[in-house]
Structure 1
Amino acid sequence: MAEEQDQERTEQATQKRREDFRKKGQVAQSKEVHTALLLTSALLLWYFYLPFFWPRLQFLVADIWRRAGEIDVTGDSVYDLALALLQQVGMLLAPLLLMVLVVGALGSIMQIGFLLTTKPLEPDLSKLNPIQGAKKFFSKRSAVEVVKSLAKVGLVGFVAFKTVHASFAESVLLVDAPLGETVRFLGRIAGLVLFKSCGVLVVLALFDYLFVRWEMEQRMKMTKQEIKEEFKETEGDPHLKARVRSIQQEMARKRMMAEVPKADVVVTNPTHLSVALKYDRETMLAPQVVAKGADHLAMKIREIAREHKVVMVENVPVARALYQLEVGQTIPEEMFTAVAEILAYVYSVKKKSF
């Protein structure tokens, strides 16, 4: 384990590691994107909603003042007034609240897609460790967050200052202006400050999102040992798989050798090939390859054939062609003539032996 910890994380994350991070809720999600998206949506909604909101608010305030002198101050009357006021204010603010919910969900889906996991909510006793908690305050990530917060405050503050400063000369003229004119001026300046600040936050959100994705890629990187361990978990230990494959091949070889004594003929290439054929007119449409081998295995097939008096025929081109077939496969039609001649020879030899 110590060796694994000393290794550098130089390998790109595998698909399984990415899925594991995602299941744990560890995804590349920027808070600045939520802030910028929420502020932008709020400003746009407010811009189009204000012509409807402002007259309704004026009517509500005027109605309260008009009815204030007519209401008897009792528990029931105060309760009814508060309930009616809450309903009216709730209806006015409902579009804003709905917008916050929709934009909040949309901001997450835009960054990480649809993700529903309870893993981050599971209790983790390590989070109660005061030493580990203190380390987070002095970590590199905390320093980065502080720098980003200071940069955001500084840029937004600078934009707000420049906007207000540019209108300072105009504001001096409002000393003798009517109250309505002053309110409209302040509203216009506030709107400019908000829209410019919104633009700054959008740019910051873009850079922050790219940084968060890069940071997550760095966190998900793996060591070579982790790659090997994951491969063992998903694909199995390669040494064990090789051992199993070797055992399976040995069992298949033994089954194949058991079929050699039942063969009608073994066609050989004098150098290194042996192919055993079997043909049963009642059960087979054509001869089948029941065993084949090269080099040492070819010699073993010949040895078993001699022990059980299976006829061997040397035919280089036929042996090479038959060796290309799989064990249990019926010979192709183009080889019928050549194999038929060999089998005819075999049957004649067997008749002479009897």
Structure 2
Amino acid sequence: MSEGGDKTEEPSQKKLDDARKEGNVWKSKDLSSVVAFAVSMSVVKATWDGFETRIKELFYFAIEHIAHPEAMGLATSQLMFLALQAMFLLCIPVAFSAAVAGSLMEFLQVGALLALKALMPKFDKLNPINGLKNMFGKKQVVELLKSMFKLAVTGYVVWGVMRDSMGIVVATIDGDAALTMSVMGELVYRICQKVILLFVAFAIFDVWWQHKSYMKDQMMSKDDVKKEYKESEGDPHHKAKRKELAHELLESAQMDAVKGADVIVTNPEHVSIALKYDKDKDAAPRIIAKGIEARAASIRELARQYDVPMMRNVPLAHALLRIDVNEEVPEELYDAVAEVLNFVYQLRQKAA
């Protein structure tokens, strides 16, 4: 691959903005999942007492009606109602909170985004060869390894908690059903706590990995940078031509302004500054044209043609050269400029 085709350049903001418009943004699904899981476990903890009460009622109702087979038909429907009531009491708040938490994390990562192009079907995905390439791509391999590692670590955590709590579980088997259920609930909650802590670590890694992978995918070649520059700023050659034309027009305007100057301050050969003072419009004398070397000579030539007085003042000429055209003379140069203008006005009065 040629040097121009190697993607060695960091993506520009325009490149990232264009990718976002197409729905191509980076986000960590692991981060959204662990937040949703943590929130749902908090909701389970908060609603567990009510759920436990419903389960107790369910057990007591079932045990009570086992001894009366003739009433089992009616009892079965009542039993199903109690079971559904218990499940809804737990599942609806948990599912709702998990959905809200996951959606909120997606929004915080991506922001408001409506990319219709991302919703359009991509027929290249139907290509089996492309499918095989994607299946064994670097991203897919990393995701597979992450999933296997998470599964292994989760299994180890579950085994560790069960091993440490086996004595308590065995001791409650022959005990009260409510006690057994309470112990099992606490055991599950401990497992979830440890799993959440591990998944937080996975999520931190995933945030780093997803951002790194995304930025790498958006890298640009030198040709891409040049192409983007041409599209956004215009061809450098044409842009230089436009700048040259604008410069010529500016010079032409300045040369026309020399005709109406009050005085030309020179150094005397290398610098020429044209000054004009309009008492009705300006608070101070204004520089209407300036130049060095050849341009300075052109200004002096015009001044001779239109009888604009010239005065040699090397320090003042160099001081005025630092001021932009159409800018007023700064206060620190008032005295020096006033002296020059007074001399010119006196010459005009004598000539008149």
Q: Which residue of 2 aligns with 1:75?
A: none
Residues 264, 279 of structure 1: 8 Å contact kept: yes
RMSD: 3.8
Q: Which residue of 1 aligns with 2:211?
A: 213
Partner secondary structure for residue 271 of structure 1 = coil
CA deviation string 1:192-241 (max 9, x = no partner): 33333333223222222222222223223333443343344334444333
Residues 269, 296 of structure 2: 8 Å contact kept: no
Q: Which residue of 1 aligns with 2:19?
A: 21
Residues 257, 289 of structure 2: 8 Å contact kept: yes
Moved more, 179-188 or 279-288: 279-288
Residues 268, 313 of structure 1: 8 Å contact kept: yes
1:341 equivalent among 323, 328, 343: 343
Partner secondary structure for residue 136 of structure 1 = helix
**What one-letter code is carried by the residue in structure 1 that aligns with 2:292?**
A
Q: In structure 2, do the counterparts of structure 1 residues 340 and 216 end up closer, same or farther at CA, with 3 Å as the change threshold?
A: same
Q: In structure 2, do the counterparts of structure 1 residues 49 and 293 end up closer, same or farther at CA, with 3 Å as the change threshold?
A: same
Q: Which residue of 1 aligns with 2:44?
A: 46
Q: Which residue of 1 aligns with 2:95?
A: 97
> Does 2:11 align with 1:7?
no
**What one-letter code is carried by the residue in structure 2 that aligns with 1:337?**
E
Q: In structure 2, do the counterparts of structure 1 residues 92 and 61 end up closer, same or farther at CA, with 3 Å as the change threshold?
A: farther
Q: Which residue of 2 aligns with 1:109?
A: 107
**What one-letter code is carried by the residue in structure 2 that aligns with 1:29?**
K
Moved more, 123-132 or 185-194: 185-194
Residues 55, 83 of structure 2: 8 Å contact kept: no
In the alignment, the residues of structure 2 paired with residue 90 and residue 54 of structure 1 have an alpha-carbon distance, to the nearest angstrom, of 13
Shift of 1:63: 8.2
In the alignment, the residues of structure 1 paired with residue 289 and residue 183 of structure 2 have an alpha-carbon distance, to the nearest angstrom, of 98
2:139 equivalent among 122, 138, 141: 141
Aligned length: 341
Percent identity between matched residues is 31
Q: Within 5 A, what are the aligned runs for 1:131-280?
A: 131-168=129-166, 177-178=174-175, 180=177, 182-278=180-276
Q: Which residue of 2 aligns with 1:297?
A: 295
**What one-letter code is carried by the residue in structure 1 that aligns with 2:345?**
L
**What one-letter code is carried by the residue in structure 2 that aligns with 1:7?**
D
In the alignment, the residues of structure 2 paired with residue 57 and residue 233 of structure 1 have an alpha-carbon distance, to the nearest angstrom, of 67
Shift of 1:128: 2.2
CA deviation string 1:106-127 (max 9, x = no partner): 3223434444444421222222
Q: In structure 2, do the counterparts of structure 1 residues 203 and 317 end up closer, same or farther at CA, with 3 Å as the change threshold?
A: closer
Gaps of 5+ in 1: 72-77
Moved more, 128-137 or 222-231: 222-231
Q: In structure 2, do the counterparts of structure 1 residues 303 and 23 end up closer, same or farther at CA, with 3 Å as the change threshold?
A: same
Gaps of 5+ in 2: 66-70
Q: In structure 2, do the counterparts of structure 1 residues 303 and 94 end up closer, same or farther at CA, with 3 Å as the change threshold?
A: same
Q: Which residue of 1 aligns with 2:68?
A: none
Q: In structure 2, do the counterparts of structure 1 residues 173 and 62 end up closer, same or farther at CA, with 3 Å as the change threshold?
A: closer
Q: In structure 2, do the counterparts of structure 1 residues 297 and 90 end up closer, same or farther at CA, with 3 Å as the change threshold?
A: same
Residues 318, 338 of structure 1: 8 Å contact kept: no
Q: Which residue of 2 aligns with 1:74?
A: none
Q: In structure 2, do the counterparts of structure 1 residues 162 and 271 end up closer, same or farther at CA, with 3 Å as the change threshold?
A: same
**What one-letter code is carried by the residue in structure 2 that aligns with 1:132?**
N
What is the TM-score with the length of structure 1 in the denominator? Answer: 0.78
Residues 265, 346 of structure 1: 8 Å contact kept: no
Partner secondary structure for residue 26 of structure 2 = coil
**What one-letter code is carried by the residue in structure 1 that aligns with 2:341?**
V
CA deviation string 1:83-121 (max 9, x = no partner): 999788656543223212211113223434444444421
Q: In structure 2, do the counterparts of structure 1 residues 311 and 347 end up closer, same or farther at CA, with 3 Å as the change threshold?
A: farther
Residues 264, 346 of structure 1: 8 Å contact kept: no
In the alignment, the residues of structure 2 paired with residue 88 and residue 174 of structure 1 have an alpha-carbon distance, to the nearest angstrom, of 23
Partner secondary structure for residue 310 of structure 2 = strand
Q: Which residue of 2 aligns with 1:35?
A: 33
In the alignment, the residues of structure 2 paired with residue 174 and residue 279 of structure 1 have an alpha-carbon distance, to the nearest angstrom, of 103
